[in-house]
Amino acid sequence: MKIAGIIVEFNPMHNGHQYLIQRIRKIEKPDIIIAVMSGNFLQRGEPSIVSKWLRTEMALTAGIDLVLELPYHYAVGHANLFAQGAISILSECGITDLYFGSESGDIASFYHTARHLRNEKSKLDLLVQEKLQQGYSYPKAYSLAYDLTHKNETKLLDLSEPNNILGLHYVKVIQEHHSSINAHTILRKGAQHHDQSPHTHTGFASGTSIRNALMNGDDFKSIADKMPNESYKILMRAVNQNQILGWNDFFPLLKYRLMSSSTEELASIYESEEGLEFRAMKAIKETNDFISFVSLMKTKRYTWTRLQRYCCHILVNVSKQKMKSFLAKPHPPYLRLLGISLQGQRYLRYKKDSFSVPLISNVKKSFEDLLRIDIRSADIYDMKTSYSEKKSKPLRYDQENQRFL
């Protein structure tokens, strides 16, 4: 059997994602495609633009057979943690092949770079420490150190590209776990990840440009061309129900949480480090919007993404202790099913007795403790939607007849 796995956010699904899925389906001809997808909060430290349930609809209509939620702890984490969680879930699901888009498009470079980093580890660690002491953020320090170790190497990856970085972490995790998963990469076409406008490229619009067009209330037709038709319809449902969300919608709650917490309480939040909590406490009093709030906290030391993730942890009240106890568990601690095709259902039936961790379809009482942070983050997000985490069930989709069951 060939079981394909992908790691996604679908924020929202666009033609680039569709291209990847179709390529896998047509050229690689897997028996099923499994996606592990972030929930309502994302790796860049943002609420997703539409609920995970709508994004699951997008995934299923675009040809995914199984959608599993990447728990909050991994999903809103740095690249390494994100990769650890995602690969562990896909591995537990029994994928044989991992596919990811990258700016490089050459899988040999990923294996080669991973090997290089292993060989140069001690040298690299020293250089990273040196750069950190000079006040750089971790990603910047790493990138500078990396540049210094690979001067004469031509086959190494360009790690200033976000998808190259994520892909490299996937490959590293696969290697570290001596996993039999084969990694493949597909060259990303057209738009770069962070391009701002959906119009400037003839290739695929990035999620960022679609989000900006939505937030600015631009002509929605310009978006329609950049997305699969089904995903566009799902997105427009969210538009009509006023459920296109972003940090602005959650900023009052973040502000209230900061205003009503003691510094000790804030210091106990995950990623409160080096007095960052004092910066946050001070900044929140001087601003009434999210962008200025993060700008006020920003220093060379912290990337914007790192600060946004910190904001998520404050909003969701994720303590260092909770995070520590989660990370002390085997990875993954559970599989949370968000959506499934009929084909995926057959696969699960065949597979489910071999899972070493619980497969969770409904948030039953007995799972509440295990899922605490996932439930909480969903409950907070759902204060702005019509969903209820406790009452939601995995979506079932009949791909042949193109309808939800």
- Residues annotated within the binding site for ATP are 7-20, 101, 163, 188
**What is the residue type of 268?**
S
Give the Cα separation of 308 and 78 in Å (integer). Answer: 11
Complex with its own copies: residue 188 or 322, whichever CB lies closer: 322
Among 108, 126, 259, 291, binds its own copies (CB under 8 A): 259
Contact 205, 191 (CB under 8 A): yes
Complex with its own copies: residue 104 or 377, whichever CB lies closer: 377
Q: Residue 393 is encoded by which pair of tokens?
A: 């069930």
Q: Is 121 helix (H, G, I), strand (E, B) or coil?
A: helix
Question: With the C-alpha atoms ordered 34, 198, 170, 335, is the resulting torsion angle positive or negative?
Answer: negative
Q: How far is CA 220 from its chain centroid?
A: 25
Task: Kindly state whether residue 257 participates in binding its own copies, applying the rule CB under 8 A.
Answer: yes
Give the burial class of 25: count Cβ atoms within 10 A of its Cβ; 0-12 exposed, 13-18 middle, 19 or more buried: middle
What residues are paired with 340 via a beta bridge?
66, 396
Among 121, 285, 364, 393, binds its own copies (CB under 8 A): 285
- Shortest approach of its own copies to residue 376 CB, angstroms? 6
Among 262, 295, 325, 362, binds its own copies (CB under 8 A): 262
Phi (first) and psi of residue 272, to 5 degrees: -75, 105
- Shortest approach of its own copies to residue 361 CB, angstroms? 20
**What is the residue type of 340?**
I
For residue 65, which of 36, 98, 38 has the smallest C-alpha distance?
36
Give the Cα separation of 158 and 140 in Å (integer). Answer: 13
Among 121, 134, 248, 252, binds its own copies (CB under 8 A): 252
- Shortest approach of its own copies to residue 393 CB, angstroms? 17
User: Binders of its own copies among 347-376, rule CB under 8 A?
Assistant: 372, 376
Is omega for the bond preceding 12 within 30 degrees of 0, making it cis? yes
Q: How far is CA 132 from its chain centroid?
A: 26
Task: Kindly state whether residue 315 participates in binding its own copies, applying the rule CB under 8 A.
Answer: yes
Q: Is 39 helix (H, G, I), strand (E, B) or coil?
A: coil
Q: How far is CA 374 from its chain centroid?
A: 14
- Shortest approach of its own copies to residue 380 CB, angstroms? 6
Contact 240, 386 (CB under 8 A): no
Stretch that binds its own copies, among 82-90, 310-318, 351-359, 393-401 (CB under 8 A): 310-318
Contact 191, 16 (CB under 8 A): yes
Counting residues that bind its own copies (by CB under 8 A) gives 20
Task: Kindly state whether residue 281 participates in binding its own copies, applying the rule CB under 8 A.
Answer: no
What residues are paired with 336 via a beta bridge?
69, 360
Complex with its own copies: residue 218 or 265, whichever CB lies closer: 265
Stretch that binds its own copies, among 44-52, 131-139, 253-261, 333-341 (CB under 8 A): 253-261
- Shortest approach of its own copies to residue 384 CB, angstroms? 10
- Shortest approach of its own copies to residue 329 CB, angstroms? 18
Q: Is 47 helix (H, G, I), strand (E, B) or coil?
A: strand
* Binding site feature residues: 7-20, 101, 163, 188
Stretch that binds its own copies, among 102-110, 171-179, 180-188, 250-258 (CB under 8 A): 250-258
Q: Residue 386 is encoded by which pair of tokens?
A: 């019509």
Task: Kindly state whether residue 120 participates in binding its own copies, applying the rule CB under 8 A.
Answer: no
Stretch that binds its own copies, among 8-16, 27-35, 328-336, 377-385 (CB under 8 A): 377-385
Task: Kindly state whether residue 256 participates in binding its own copies, applying the rule CB under 8 A.
Answer: yes
Among 86, 244, 316, 360, binds its own copies (CB under 8 A): 316
- Shortest approach of its own copies to residue 280 CB, angstroms? 14
Task: Kindly state whether residue 193 participates in binding its own copies, applying the rule CB under 8 A.
Answer: no
For residue 92, which of 333, 371, 403, 308 has the smallest C-alpha distance?
333
Task: Kindly state whether residue 386 participates in binding its own copies, applying the rule CB under 8 A.
Answer: no
Among 255, 309, 331, 336, binds its own copies (CB under 8 A): 255
Tokens 């949480």 locate to 257
Query: Would you tell me which residues interact with its own copies (CB under 8 A)?
Result: 252-253, 255-257, 259-262, 265, 285, 315-317, 372, 376, 379-380, 383, 390
